[in-house]
Structure 1
Amino acid sequence: MKNPGVAAVLSFFFAGLGQIYNGQIGKGIGFIIAYFISVFLIFVLIGFITTPILWIWGMVDAYKTAEKLNQEQSRSLG
C-alpha cells in the first residue's frame, strides 16, 4: 500500500519524487526533467507560470495515483 500523503509531500519537496515513490520511475524522471526545464525558463519569464503549475500538478498527481494504486490493490486482495 502507498501512502498518498507521503507521495504528495515527497513531490512537495522535489518534483517527481512522489511518482517515483509510487513506482512510476519514468513518469517521475519526466517530472524532474520538465521541472528543471521550467526553472530555466524563469529567465524568459514563462517559467514563472509553468514552474508552479508543474509543482502543484506533480503533488496532485502523486496523491491521486497513490490512491488509485491502493484501490486497485484492495480489489485484487478482496
Structure 2
Amino acid sequence: MNSIIAAILSFFIPGLGQAISGDLKKGIILFVAAIVVGALAALVFRSWFVSIINLLISLYAAYDAYLMNQ
C-alpha cells in the first residue's frame, strides 16, 4: 500500500492504516484509544485539552502508518 494513503487513512480513522498494512493489533489499540479519548472529551468540561490529545493520537497514527509502509 502507498505510504501516503495509509497515513491519510490513519489520520482520519486512527489505526486504519496500521490494520490495512497488516498490524491489526496496533490498529485496534489506536482506534480504541481514539474512541476513549473522544468519549472523555464529551464528558469533561476541559474538552479542548482532551481534543489536543486526540489530535496527537491521530498524528501519531498517521506518522506510524507512513513509516510502516516505507
TM-score range, shorter chain: 0.7 to 0.9
Counterpart in the other structure of 1:27: 26
Percent of pairs with identical residues: 33
TM-score normalised by L of structure 2: 0.84
TM-score normalised by L of structure 1: 0.76
Task: Give the counterpart letter for 1:54 in structure 2.
Answer: I
Q: Which has the larger radius of gyration?
A: 1
Given the alignment, which residue of 32, 50, 60 partners 2:63? 60
CA RMSD of aligned residues (A): 1.2
Aligned length: 66
Which structure 1 residue ranges, 4+ long, deviate > 6 Å from structure 2? none
Asked if the contact 1:40–1:47 (Cα under 8 Å) also holds between the matched residues in 2, the reply is no
Stretches of structure 2 that go unaligned for 5 or more consecutive residues are: none
Counterpart in the other structure of 1:18: 17
